[in-house]
Structure 1
Amino acid sequence: MVVYTQKETLVQALSSTKKIGKIGFVPTMGALHNGHISLVNKALGENNLVVVSIFVNPTQFNNNSDLQKYPRTPDDDISLLKKLKGEIIVYLPEVSDLYEDAVSAKHYNFGGLENEMEGKHRKGHFDGVGTIVSKLIKIVKPDTAYFGEKDFQQLQIVKKLVSIENLPVNIVGCPILREKNGLAMSSRNKRLTAKQFEEAAIIYRTLNEVRKKFSTTSIADLNTLVAERFLQNPHLKLEYFEIANEKTLKTAKRKTKASKYRAFIAAFAGEVRLIDNMPLN
């Protein structure tokens, strides 16, 4: 496994390896966990070479405190990747290598996907996501890029980005990996206290309850149920719960047989913001 910190040397290395087969790409912000590793393993199984980027992207944070506190464990990340079987290249750049003198995001029109859920609560977030994903894909030039479904809205945004910019890459969404208590694996989980980690299981339990009752309960009643569940737990504060159309991500007021729906939750455990989602039908 080789680690590159500059895009020029990475591009040079990839230009020669491109001749030997397919390249898979797993973009991460580091603090790797088993969810990330599942993406890398899937990529390794489907490609001759896998590039893993580790970069905490400043333009997708609308809260500077959150950016500063985001866990950074590059040495542990590299050690974890070294244990995997297969050809891996790690791209570990500084901000200046990707943004040079202008740390700013390009503005995108994602057809309204960017205005729902996370877009309502994190203004400009998806402009930052689109900017960095575009930059990385143009550097790596992968055949396939892999993203986790925990960030389902982001996955849909990335698919739209590829269409907008006509990027020659296949985007693959991968299932959410969960802790034993059901909490979706996330780098942010490392910031939770033992008590918060335990209490955060309410997110998964609530999503499961919504899924089980979805066919027999109105969306309005499900919204009320979720609000009540979180009011009963003083350790987590619900930021939003929405049942949305899987394709458009628009909030659903009532159900139609022709549509697929997914439930989305964002909640705070102290200062740590957690998100999760689950398909409903």
Structure 2
Amino acid sequence: MRRTGCSTHWNGSGRTAPRLTSSSRTPPPPPSPNKAGAVSAPAPWDPDTASRRVVFWRHGRTEWNRVGRFQGQQDIALDDGGLRQAAEAAAVLRFLEPDVIVSSDLSRALDTGRALAAETGLEVSRDQRLRETFAGTWEGRSFAQIAEQDAPLLAAWSAGVGSARAGGGETRVDVGRRVADAVTEAVREVPAGGTLVAVSHGGAIRAGICALLGLPTESWAVISGVSNCHWSVLQEIPDRHGRSAWHLTQHNVGLDSLPSGPVEG
């Protein structure tokens, strides 16, 4: 496994290299190395002591990702490289033994989720709330065009300003709220010690993580978007009062078999 520049593991006190963990009731055998590099064996997952976790998984590459066009809620299919990314990542994510898979209803996310379903035998449920940001006039335009024609708004939105409306569409707060609602609802179907995989989009994952962590909007810029077919992990950990809270344990982890495009949009 190789890391992108912003792939990190957050342990509450500093950043370390990303790693895979597993929800296995018994530790699975390590995955075989592939052309993207050797993959470390996932760590064992103890259902008697562990709480639930959410794996946010971004869809594979599309043609618009490849050329740098803002997709938003346009239904753009995976390209051949994206289909390959989904299959390769699914072969690793199956070792997390997910209990539930829920996906954005846009085809690029849904087909990515189906790759994991083929590995696990699970069904993929759909939830429109996991869609990418609705970006109004930006959708279909290249990031270079947006930067030329709408530079101040793009700068504010890229910096994570909570009130900035992408192309006159949604704010990050709008997106974070609906993604968090979808995940909160879906995770109720996950048993103690279990794993939910939520297949979504780079900007939606970024906003959803910030909302679930309860970060103040002025701090949302500290969380990056997610590269194609990479994933981030939230774990439910009780606080000192015994109330569960989400903690970010991995961010933007994956196999770099293709050059990375924009991390959101």
- TM exceeds 0.5? no
Bigger relative CO (Cα 8 Å, ≥ 6 apart):
2
Structure with greater strand percent: 1
What interval of TM-score do these two structures reach, taking the shorter chain for normalisation? 0.3 to 0.5
Task: State TM-score, norm by structure 1.
Answer: 0.32
Structure with greater helix percent: 1
Higher Rg: 1
Task: State TM-score, norm by structure 2.
Answer: 0.33
